[in-house]
Each structure stands twice: as structure tokens, then as C-alpha cells.
Amino acid sequence: MSQPGSPDNPLRVAIIGAGPSGFYAADQILKDETTHAQVDLFDRLPTPYGLVRGGVAPDHPKIKSVTRMYERTAAKEGFRFFGNVEVGRDLGIVDFENHYHAVMYTFGAEADRELGIPGEDLPGSFAATAFVGWYNAHPDYADRNFNLDRAKRAVVIGNGNVAMDVARMLALDDAELRKTDIADHAIDVLDASTIEEIVVLGRRGPAQAAYTNPEVKELGELEEADVIVDPSEIELDPVSQAYIEGDEVDKTTRVNVEIVRGFAAKAHESKPKRVVLRFLASPIEIRGGDRVKSIVIGRNELVDDDGTLRARDTGEREELECDLILRSVGYTGIPIDGVPFDEKRGTILNEHGRVLEEHGGEHRTGHYTAGWIKRGPSGVIGTNKKDAQETVNHLLEDVAAGKLIDPSSPAPDSIETLLKDRGTHYVSFSGWEKIDAEEVGRGEPHGRPRVKFVRVDEMLEHASSDDK
């Protein structure tokens, strides 16, 4: 048989994880017509789009409209979607090696990073990932129980965009929520919420915050909540001050500082809720008996560590009563069997997208990675386009050099036969389109973009029967 990537031996690529990086990579591979590529995009859920569906906040519909581009990719010749196929449960790495010339891992960073402080696991202390998954109707989090009907104060730990999202979701009023595609179960719980104050803890200062300008600005536009900042906590240290005033300043940082200073200077309007932004404040211990009762906060100062300003504990403590804690200090990847993993970084071991056998070792022929599981959980959705392109360029170089897997069963229908033999009820893109149409139809009478299915069983029921 001729080289893979020729008309009688089309390049066959499996991509695992149908979030943004999976779709960008699929699109870029299919765009290169010289390889006659066929791309099969797998996801463990029956639904595509990863964090665009399960992570982006319900009140940010514009961000979600990026799925139109992914729909265009899905309509391209050579593209197939296999939803509800889980690596480890339905297919192993060896199955991909038997059916494809190349495998690309784009399954993101699903786990939450831990704080490593006492009381972190008390009832009432949750990873923000669980709260986000729950309000976004992710099947993994459908049965989580967030009792907010007696809670008065929530503490959000972290100063990234996820912290902004969860703080805002706790502060939005019922009418704002009811216009969105938020999970039905979350509307009722958030509607019954008695939370009056949401405290967001940043361990460094406003010039080091990880959130971006629109996300922090949006807090000031909430109908039901004032934003409170203590001016003494945002006085900049000399290094940050010089940076903000200097020519090298990045615009996001300067505007973040301006926005937070604006909050500190603004008179409060006595709205029913308060979002309190704290800085130089680290979680030290979470206290309570059968559930969270308070958090001990340590006051930090900033110290220059080889050009980076880091938080150092001053030893000063305060204890703040609270009923709910959302730990929002970033995500980390989960390893899959048979794929080399960098435990320290929480990513697949790779060099610019080519999977490595070991640190500093050889490339694993035909194995690639893109997105958060390649570089860690950073950037916005669009960042994954450039990231995927780097990996796809390497894949195409390897196609030209003939450095690919030599599969025993490359015929496109053989993977379908295998899945059917194993009793896997996989969902094609047209199956997803049926789920999609049903969800959109359920939303229409209520003026909502969609009412999401929460259970995998319900999703499978609405996917086409010919997907079985």
C-alpha cells in the first residue's frame, strides 16, 4: 500500500476530546488537502464542545457562539464524531493504534487543583469545577447538592476568571438566570439562595490577578450586588506601582488595577448582595464540624522572587464566618492509561505537541496532544487554535517524513464494527444534532436558548436510533 496521506491510503487521525482544541485540530488537519485526511473525533460524553458547553458561564452566550465554527468543521468531508465513547471503558490506546495512523489527545484538564490546607474537604467546601459543572448541567455533577437556602456568606478562593464566574453566578438575580441555558436544577437552588455576601480571596494584589478585564468589570454591572473593595488592600507595592506606570505594562494588568480602584472609590448603592474583593489574603484553614463554619485567612506581603512577585505570609490572621467555600485555584489534567504523563505539570508529557516516551526521551511515533492537556489550563478559547496549529504542523511534518503508526485495520468502518461488537452506544454528529434540536425546542417556550439534558441516558434516547 502507498504512504499514508495518499488518495488510496488517506491519513486517518483519531482525536480524543471534542472541546475547542479537538475541533481546531480537526479543522486544521482537514484543511490540508494533500493528506486526504479523515478525522474521527471522540468524546466520552454524547455531546461535543467540552468546556464551551460545560464550562462557559450560562450568562455568556456570545462566547458560546464559537460552536458555529465547530459546526462548520463537523460538516466537512472526512469528519466523524463519536460521542459517548470513553477511553479506558470502550476503547484502549491499542485500539486507536490498530485503526489510525495518528492519535491526538485533546481531552483538557478536568480535575481541580488542591489547596492542601486543613478542612478543605469539609462538607460545604467545593471545588469550583464541581459548581461550574453542576450549573452547566454536566452529567458528572448532576447529583451534587449545594444547599444555599440557609447560607449567608460564600467565600471564593482564587483570582482567575473561574472565580469571577462563580462569584457572579452566586450574585445574579433570578430573572437574569432564567434567561440562560443554566441547568434547571441550578435555577431552583440559586433562586432559593439566601447568600448575601460573596468574598473573593486573592492571595496577591490586583496587579497580579489572573482574571481579564471584561470579567472583573462585569461584577460592577450586577443588578443585585454592590462590589466592595477596601482601599488599603489595593495600595500597590513599589514594584507593581512602577510597573503600572512604566512603558512595559501590559494593558490587561493596567485596566484590571483601574477597575478595582474604581470599585474601591465608588459609593455603595445598598443593593441586597455584596461581592467583596479581598487582596493579599490566603486561605490557611477551613473550620467547622459537620460542615464549613469559618475560614482562617492569612495576610500576605509581596516579595520579589527572581522577577516574579510572590505572596509571603506575614503571620497575621483573621477568621471569617462562612457557609460555603468554592476553591477556584485552577484545573489540572488527569492521566490516561498508557499515555506518558507529567505529574508535576498535570499534562501529557510532550514536546510542542509530540508525545514523549519519557522526560527528555524519544517522540512516541504517531501520538500527539493539543490544548490544556498539552500546555496546562491557560488562556481563552481562541488560544487553543494557535496551540492546535503547532501540533498539527508537527503531525503534517511527520506525515511527510513517513513517521506514523502502521495500523492493522485502517478501514473507516472497522472502528464502528469494533464499537458495535463491544456494545457501545456511540453518538454521531447527526445524533448530537437531534439532542441539540430537542434542547433548543425545550427552551423556546421559555425564551431560553436551550434547556439542557443532564443525564447521559436522556441524551442517548434523543440521539438517532441509527447511532446504535
Kindly tell me which of 78 and 133 has the beta carbon lying closer to ligand NAP.
133
161 binds ligand NAP, rule: CB under 6 A:
yes
Kindly tell me which of 4 and 202 has the beta carbon lying closer to ligand NAP.
202
| Residue 205 neighbours by CB under 8 Å, 6+ apart | 234, 236, 237, 240, 279, 280, 302, 309
| Residue 64 neighbours by CB under 8 Å, 6+ apart | 52, 53, 56
Kindly tell me which of 367 and 375 has the beta carbon lying closer to ligand NAP.
375
SS3 of 141-199: HCCCCCCCCCCCEEEEECCCHHHHHHHHHHHCCHHHHHCCCCCHHHHHHHHCCCCCEEE
Kindly tell me which of 99 and 203 has the beta carbon lying closer to ligand NAP.
203
The answer to whether the beta carbons of residues 356 and 345 sit under 8 Å apart is no
The three grid cell numbers given for residue 260, joined into one nine-digit string: 478595582
How far apart are alpha carbons 423 and 443 in whole angstroms? 32
The single residue among 210, 225, 234, 395 that binds ligand NAP, judged by CB under 6 A, is 210
Per-residue contact string for residues 332-371; x = within reach of ligand NAP by CB under 6 A: ----------------------------------------
The single residue among 215, 218, 237, 436 that binds ligand NAP, judged by CB under 6 A, is 215
The single residue among 168, 204, 299, 374 that binds ligand NAP, judged by CB under 6 A, is 204
The three grid cell numbers given for residue 345, joined into one nine-digit string: 505539570
Q: Specify the residue for cell string 443593593.
A: 271
Give me the residue whose beta carbon is nearest to ligand NAP.
160
Options 156-164, 239-247, 266-274, 436-444: segment touching ligand NAP (CB under 6 A): 156-164
- The least distance separating ligand NAP from the CB of residue 424, rounded to whole angstroms, comes to 31
Kindly tell me which of 241 and 378 has the beta carbon lying closer to ligand NAP.
378
The single residue among 78, 108, 206, 330 that binds ligand NAP, judged by CB under 6 A, is 330
Kindly tell me which of 133 and 158 has the beta carbon lying closer to ligand NAP.
158
Kindly tell me which of 123 and 214 has the beta carbon lying closer to ligand NAP.
214
Residue 212 CB coordination number (10 Å): 15
Q: Counting beta carbons within 10 angstroms of the beta carbon of residue 199, is it exposed (0 to 12), middle (13 to 18) or buried (19 or more)?
A: buried
329 binds ligand NAP, rule: CB under 6 A:
yes
Kindly tell me which of 37 and 157 has the beta carbon lying closer to ligand NAP.
157
What type of residue is 225? A
The answer to whether the beta carbons of residues 90 and 423 sit under 8 Å apart is no
407 binds ligand NAP, rule: CB under 6 A:
no
Kindly tell me which of 49 and 432 has the beta carbon lying closer to ligand NAP.
49
Residue 97 CB coordination number (10 Å): 20
**Helices 67-74, 20-31: inter-axial angle, 10-degree rounding:** 40
167 binds ligand NAP, rule: CB under 6 A:
no
131 binds ligand NAP, rule: CB under 6 A:
no
**Helices 238-245, 251-265: inter-axial angle, 10-degree rounding:** 110
Kindly tell me which of 104 and 167 has the beta carbon lying closer to ligand NAP.
167
What are φ and ψ of residue 367, in 5° steps? -115, 130
What type of residue is 92? G
How far apart are alpha carbons 119 and 96 in whole angstroms? 42
The single residue among 165, 181, 197, 436 that binds ligand NAP, judged by CB under 6 A, is 165
Options 25-33, 242-250, 323-331, 420-428: segment touching ligand NAP (CB under 6 A): 323-331
- The least distance separating ligand NAP from the CB of residue 74, rounded to whole angstroms, comes to 23
Q: Which residues are near ligand NAP by CB under 6 A?
A: 115, 157-163, 165, 203-204, 208, 210, 215, 282-283, 328-331, 377-380
